[in-house]
Structure 1
């Protein structure tokens, strides 16, 4: 089972990957934000947490030409960025995670 910090990093990773994929899909504004949030939210759903598979399928359906290697490279870059991201304010990481979960949860 992943630690809470690992889960937060994976959520950040998937949101960053979602923003990258949204750009490639031609999504902008709220559509791009919603796509990225859906990727982040899917982190906790075992049936939908395969981000490579999701991005690959979405690209194929939209006719976006990106190789598997390009997607994997984007995933590696997003993972590095997600791991480097730390809260800039003091306080509990738990509070930040609760705020993130609230922001990402569908209403």
Structure 2
């Protein structure tokens, strides 16, 4: 193997690791978002865990974050709770940053 081949394999391995970590971080963010939303809606701890799992599953509907946002925003509206779009998106960004740090730290 040449040095170029070695570098190419290293870049491919790094890319794969980065993608895996991002997937794990977003799944973690979605769970934490679900728990946050469940608390705002006054769900019991058991129901909160079920709801958080539903938020994680919602992310598989389509690429991007809009499916998760729509689920949480719709559930707030259905519960009669007024939470602004900005508050939800801000919480999503905050939790994504925390989740990425946790995944990088191996938590």
User: How high is the TM-score relative to the length of structure 2?
Assistant: 0.71
Aligned to 1:4: 20
Q: Which runs of 5+ in 1 are unaligned?
A: 89-107
Following the alignment from structure 2 to structure 1, what is the Cα–Cα distance between the partners of residues 59 and 36? 16
Deviations 1:39-87 (A, max 9, x none): 123333439x611111110011111111111111111111111111132
- Return the index of the structure with the highest Cα Rg: 2
Q: Distance in 1 between matches of 2:49 and 2:88?
A: 19
Runs of 4 or more consecutive aligned structure 1 residues displaced over 6 Å after TM superposition: none
CA distance in 2: counterparts of 1:40 and 1:75, whole angstroms: 13
Aligned length: 86
For residue 46 of structure 2, what is the aligned residue in structure 1?
30
- The two structures have a TM-score, normalised by structure 1, of 0.71
- Gaps of at least 5 residues in structure 2 are 1-17
d(CA) in 2 for partners of 1:6, 1:70? 23
